[in-house]
Chain A
Amino acid sequence: MGVLDYFRPVSTLPAEKIRALLNEKKAGEYNLVDVRQPEEYQAGHLPGARLIPVGELESRLKDLDPNKPTIAY
């Protein structure tokens, strides 16, 4: 991850929009990625979220299907 990644434009949605998106999609139709640290995940995560700390994300992209809508938090 380069420092420029912080400035790349991406869609940011408020939590209610994310909730609506997850509610309308069926299980398996989206990727939901928790990019925090394992201790934070353990203390509480969105149901079905997959833990991939941000520092590991680049090397683990192949664990996720790039064709599905992908939500990171």
Chain B
Amino acid sequence: MRSRAAASILARGGFKEVYSMEGGIRAWKGLAAGGAPEAGMAYFPPDSSPSKLTALAWLLEKGAQKFYGEAASELRDSGAARLFADLAAAEEKHKDTLYRTHLEMTGAADDPQFPESVLPASAAPEYMEGGVEVAKALQWTRGKSPEEILEFALALEVNAYDLHLKMAQRMTDSRAREMFARIADEEKGHLNRLQEHFIRLMTPA
């Protein structure tokens, strides 16, 4: 009922194409992100320049790459291990996308010092998408079943997807907005692959 009322407020407010979801969130049965509207956004300080945001996003990708790369060897399921190796490779591509975004923004031909050229190296622990410390995440995976590890990765990816979509909405700078939208779109693909594999694992042959 609430969503129908909301949709009619929107329609009356001049919104061109409005839908309400039948059955609300209970009907969704898909991946849901947790946390408050601002969750994770503190990682990207609101007054940061687009260059700094790009460097921060790059560091998250690097953390995720490390997680997937190292967790792959913990996985006692060869299909899941291959998937994690693929995801680690995909994070490398994200890093490259971000690096190229940085070059576009600065107009430089190359910048071998990136991200230190924008963000001074810090002694802070390495974080990955989803706002989790890489070392803690890796420690957690030890001895866990493939199902548990995949479920954890799904939770990380869905929260990372949520965060990047929200960052894309918040950005006023068009380059930063496009950067976050681009990462979010790529993460959507990761999520779908993780989910497919998870479903395969949970379905007895």
Contacts and interface: CB of A to CB of B under 8 A. Distances in A.
Given A47-B162, A72-B7, A10 B32 contact: no
Contacts of A33: 6, 10
B58 interface: no
Interface string B5-44: 1111111111111111111110111111111110000000
Of A18, A34, A68, A72, chain B has the most CB atoms within 10 Å of the CB of A72
A35 B2 contact: yes
B60 interface: no
Interface of A: 1, 5-6, 8, 10-15, 18-19, 21, 23, 26-28, 33-36, 38, 40-51, 54, 57-58, 61, 64, 66-73
Given A45-B32, A54-B2, A28 B169 contact: yes
B168 A1 contact: no
Contacts of B1: 6
Interface of B: 1-25, 27-37, 158, 161-162, 164-166, 168-169, 177, 180-182, 184-185, 188, 192
A5 B5 contact: yes
Contacts of B27: 14-15
The A interface is mostly helix, strand or loop, or mixed, namely: mixed
Nearest to A43: B34
A57 B21 contact: no
Given A33-B6, A58-B13, A66-B14, A72 B185 contact: no
Nearest to A61: B13
Given A12-B22, A58-B9, A61-B10, A46 B28 contact: yes
A58 B164 CA distance: 26
Given A15-B27, A26-B185, A27-B180, A69 B5 contact: no
